[in-house]
Structure 1
Amino acid sequence: MASGKIYGSGREARLAIRSGEHRGQTAGIAPGFVQGNLAILPKALADDFFRFCQFNPKPCPLIGASEPGDPRIPALAEDLDIRTDLPLYRVWRDGKLVEEVPDLKAVWRDDLVAFLIGCSFSFEEALVEDGIDLRHISAGTNVPMYRTNIDTVPAGPFHGPLVVSMRPLKPADAIRAVQITSRFPAVHGAPVHLGKPELLGIKDIAKPDYGDPVEVKADELPVFWACGVTPQSVIATVKPDFCITHAPGHMLVTDLKNSRLAIL
């Protein structure tokens, strides 16, 4: 699943990212370890965002959060530093993306709260182990993601459209994928839609809003999962004066094991 070096633990991957050794996407760089989407907000917005995650568990399954101003999240990893341990961050001001940076040292503030949201990389690993081909992985690209016409459940100022990720699968593989991903509710769970992207408000499946396009062949269905990039869509809608997210595909690698998230 990864292009380049594969690390034997979440800690090894984080140290490689922290040192600048690894700067690319994180899919498959530490097989077996949970990765997370990142949203960092000022403390004044943190309670409302926490409720937003509770109200929208499919796109925003919360796996960890920090104390205000604390860059550590010990429940996810003892030596984690949220300011340095992702390959690429996005800085937003008034809902607009203003820069992408390799660390947060210059923009970190004492009032910031970090939220980690479950990532589909965990269930993708289970799909690949079952022999299901995932085209964006075999092509070495990022998964395509789309804003939809489905509204999230609002909480305080937070509202906006659901974002979905798409994987083209043959019907038999799609059925198996539903069965497998249903076991991973902490990382988006089962798909939210199969086939007919127009019903989700997606006008052109070849033009994703995030990530890279992949071919959907004549004998395949586009299968859509709720996506952890949804907070970035919400940020563009709500326009908070300052916040930080991960760059799509550039996740935090934790010390949690994917197997611990599965419901047997």
Structure 2
Amino acid sequence: MHKIALAAILGGISIASNAAPLGLPPVPVPADNPQTPAKIKLGDRLYHDKRFSADGKVSCATCHAREKAFTDHLPVSKGFQGKRGTRNAPTVINAAYLKTQFWDGREPDLEGQSKQPPVNPVEGGLPDHRPILAVIRKDKDYTRAFKKVFGATPAEISMDHVAKAIASFERTIIAGDSPFDQYRYGGKNNALTASQKRGLDVFLNKGRCVSCHVIEQTQALFTDNRFHNIGVGFKRLKEKEAQTARAFIQKKNQGADVDVTV
């Protein structure tokens, strides 16, 4: 990554706008959750608040840390009390462009995604969202901020408000204008080295990487926003495919959390 486009990565907060970084389209923003500086600032604080977990030690930033490119650099992420999950943490960078969230795509947007980790039995460990709202309603800085942003009294503050604020902050975490972008879209032939240009040629042609990691005429998100079964890790199942599938379906029908089941 050459350059993080918005000041959210660098320590300040800026609003993603139509003036998108080179190589990226405008950030999609829901009509019912427009970006405002106050909402983004509130979302930033909520994102970093460790009180929204069972042991008071886990926040969004625990697994999606600014200084680690909004990941945790771990093969499998750790939640409250050091519990290990079954997935590593995807980066939040450019997640605003994704059409589905989580590795299994179970949420369509950042608002829906932000509600789940605190009540995941491994991540935040809370039984439900009520402890989060209780913390917020007792915090004068929070109640003032929610009143300013949403016009909500302490009793009216809901998880929808919390989710909208966090999502607004996450929509500022955007990275573009990389050496690739400068080469491909900025007309700078020397932005890539000779070796990198050879790699790009393989990516576009013989390797067929671009079939799924899409590069368009004016922008590149390096995804087609679809799911593909390429067999990675399948050998570990050996002859247990049917048994594993049955166990998963049974757990799913029982309402078990997918992150814990798989």
- Report the TM-score range of the alignment, normalised by the length of the smaller protein: under 0.3
With the length of structure 2 as denominator, give the TM-score of the two structures: 0.27
Q: TM-score, normalised by structure 1?
A: 0.27
| Greater fraction helix | 2
In terms of fraction of residues, the more strand-rich structure is: 1
Larger radius of gyration: 2
Structure ranking higher on relative contact order (CA contacts 8 Å, 6+ apart): 1
